[in-house]
Chain A
């Protein structure tokens, strides 16, 4: 039987510039049928973005495994709304309207999303109309019932956290509805990318979400390399994986401690904080920067590993092997801590599947998708590792996924260090082309799969670059997971999701 995606791809007009997965231009009818495929669960939405003339949608067909992009050309600025039948696309379509002015016909929610009316320009990447006078109020979605009250939190939060607004509607202590308002950290990265050379664009990509700087730079590099048809030296691919796993280790260790800290259990927080610091020091010893910013570049890595760095990483693995089991044991056997995490903030597997949630959010709710396995990009095709999956969907499950992934990442790092091939670490790409080139890539960051799509012009500059954070499909699920929980449990639920504000807002 031919899959829903294969049928779409076969009936569209193929765009030859796009690599490695096909992109086709389809009719509005075919676009609607793709939306139906999403709505009935045959397809999963991987990304939805646009340029000033067309809207693009990356789709996943899980069985058999297929990926492709369909595009529909806007007619007088209109295109058929996907979110009219598939809710996960709502905020993406609101964003496309904010930035490009393309109107999703059929979407009921007309509110802006990233545009707070403060940019001085409307549709900055589209027709660029002058902005209307500022409207201060933003209508949150209503909740009906007796004795409801609202709690407004943010954008400036109490901790050292990124800015965003949470509007709770509560009945007593129980949360009836939570709605986010994001966009506070919108920096216009997509507009800054336009016309940038590969170096600058790579640095911008690496600052989309600082905690995932390696993953973003990697996704961007993969997309560029796909577009230009570059093969990078094997050693570079292995060093990239080493960095990516160090980044995953650092973030998961930080989150494991932080979730416990939100249950006022500070000992695990302190110990995990120390381990995280040791990861960052090993990273600095190996690659010269604690977060390894700008280390991954199109064509390879910016510099080889510092020879003494590998020793530091080995020492780190010994320290993690010594400390982590004790902390995990403590977590598992402290009833007062378990009481806070178990059955708190449950995300139902059906929702995780519908939203195509990646990372620990998806994997704690039964969705096993991991870009390292699904796309098997080098060197993960040669490495042995498991993708842990649980079904409970609560804070506890998200903690356990992280714990298991820390173990897996440590094992991966050991394999990488043992088998690191010799040779060059960078192939400097010749970006100038006879024609426009497009590339698409998926990379597994610590939070989940990051999508990067680039269009490179003949001069070798970025014509357009779209970066989709895993948080796009996780933030809305936090709203669902908190429902019926008490407000006091929001911080621990929020931390267990740890969505990126900057990665989402860009």
Chain B
């Protein structure tokens, strides 16, 4: 083990240069986030991943964000084990009817302020699984979505772009954030921010 540790000291790190926030997700964010209640979370953003019936392809790439090439935590983004600790719900899958209630409960268990990021083509509208008796047809059919990251599955880089866009937009609007700090959103999933 010592040898591996020593090698770690002299070898070049594998970690990639950070990507710039993508133009498309940023635009989508602006329209969704510029309105309504938005508060300062601080720099650190906690993410709770919810698989709402994906094929597990998206999970593989979300997992990859934690490997040493992408090293998500250096941006202050980290995955947490409970929705109670989360600012962002990262939701994958077409939202199966069997997962609908679990997703709603997870959403309601996440304290405000919170954002929902829907990941993958099938999270947009059910994708390939749309029309099935077992599928609701996308994340926004169940909880309000702030950002879609498309792809089947999106690559770790595309995921990073989307999440960074979330961070950037959050920082650029500090004044508004401060003003609205105490405005609370009505509880429950019925409350749409649009």
* A→B interface (CB under 8 Å): 114, 116, 118-121, 124, 155-156, 158-163, 183-189, 191-192, 200, 203-204, 207-211, 213, 254, 267, 270-271, 273-274, 276-277, 280, 290-291, 293, 326, 330, 334, 500-502
Taking a contact as CB atoms closer than 8 A, the residue among B51, B62, B64, B128 that contacts A203 in the complex is: B128
Which of B14, B62, B96, B153 counts the most chain A CB atoms within 10 A?
A: B96
* B→A interface (CB under 8 Å): 1, 3-5, 14, 49-64, 66-69, 79, 81-83, 93-94, 96-102, 105-106, 128-129, 131-135, 152-153, 155
Q: Is the CB of A184 within 8 A of B55?
A: no
Taking a contact as CB atoms closer than 8 A, the residue among B62, B82, B93 that contacts A158 in the complex is: B82
Contacts of A213 in B (CB 8 A): 55, 57
Q: A118-B97, A274-B68 are in contact. Are A155 and B134 (CB under 8 A)?
A: no
Q: Is the CB of A280 within 8 A of B57?
A: no
Chain B nearest CB, measured from A281 CB (Å):
9
A200-B134 Cα distance, complex, nearest whole Å: 18
Q: Is the CB of A155 within 8 A of B102?
A: yes
Q: Is the CB of B134 within 8 A of A186?
A: yes
A280-B63 Cα distance, complex, nearest whole Å: 13
Chain A nearest CB, measured from B99 CB (Å):
5
Q: A184-B96, A274-B14 are in contact. Are A163 and B102 (CB under 8 A)?
A: yes
Taking a contact as CB atoms closer than 8 A, the residue among A185, A271, A290, A326 that contacts B53 in the complex is: A185
Chain A nearest CB, measured from B123 CB (Å):
13
A103-B78 Cα distance, complex, nearest whole Å: 48
Q: Is the CB of B133 within 8 A of A188?
A: yes
Q: Is the CB of B59 within 8 A of A162?
A: yes
Chain B nearest CB, measured from A176 CB (Å):
26
Contacts of A271 in B (CB 8 A): 4
A291-B58 Cα distance, complex, nearest whole Å: 10
Which of B81, B132, B135 counts the most chain A CB atoms within 10 A?
A: B132
Q: Is the CB of A184 within 8 A of B53?
A: yes
Additional A-B contact list (19), CB under 8 Å, known A185-B99, A293-B152, A326-B3: A158-B82, A161-B51, A162-B59, A163-B51, A185-B96, A186-B53, A188-B134, A207-B129, A210-B54, A210-B60, A211-B57, A270-B68, A273-B64, A274-B14, A276-B67, A290-B61, A291-B60, A326-B4, A500-B56
Q: A158-B81, A326-B3 are in contact. Are A277 and B67 (CB under 8 A)?
A: yes
Contacts of B1 in A (CB 8 A): 267, 330, 334
Contacts of A191 in B (CB 8 A): 132-134
Q: Is the CB of A211 within 8 A of B129?
A: no
Contacts of B133 in A (CB 8 A): 119-121, 124, 188, 191
Chain B nearest CB, measured from A500 CB (Å):
7
A210-B4 Cα distance, complex, nearest whole Å: 33
Contacts of B96 in A (CB 8 A): 184-187
Q: Is the CB of B98 within 8 A of A184?
A: yes
A502-B129 Cα distance, complex, nearest whole Å: 13
A159-B59 Cα distance, complex, nearest whole Å: 10
Q: Is the CB of A192 within 8 A of B62?
A: no
A293-B56 Cα distance, complex, nearest whole Å: 13
Pairs across A and B, CB under 8 Å, 8 listed: A119-B133, A120-B97, A120-B133, A124-B134, A183-B98, A188-B129, A203-B128, A210-B55
Chain B nearest CB, measured from A492 CB (Å):
17
Q: Is the CB of B155 within 8 A of A290?
A: yes
A203-B3 Cα distance, complex, nearest whole Å: 45
Chain B nearest CB, measured from A288 CB (Å):
12
Contacts of B79 in A (CB 8 A): 159-160
Q: Is the CB of A188 within 8 A of B135?
A: yes
A160-B128 Cα distance, complex, nearest whole Å: 22
A271-B128 Cα distance, complex, nearest whole Å: 35
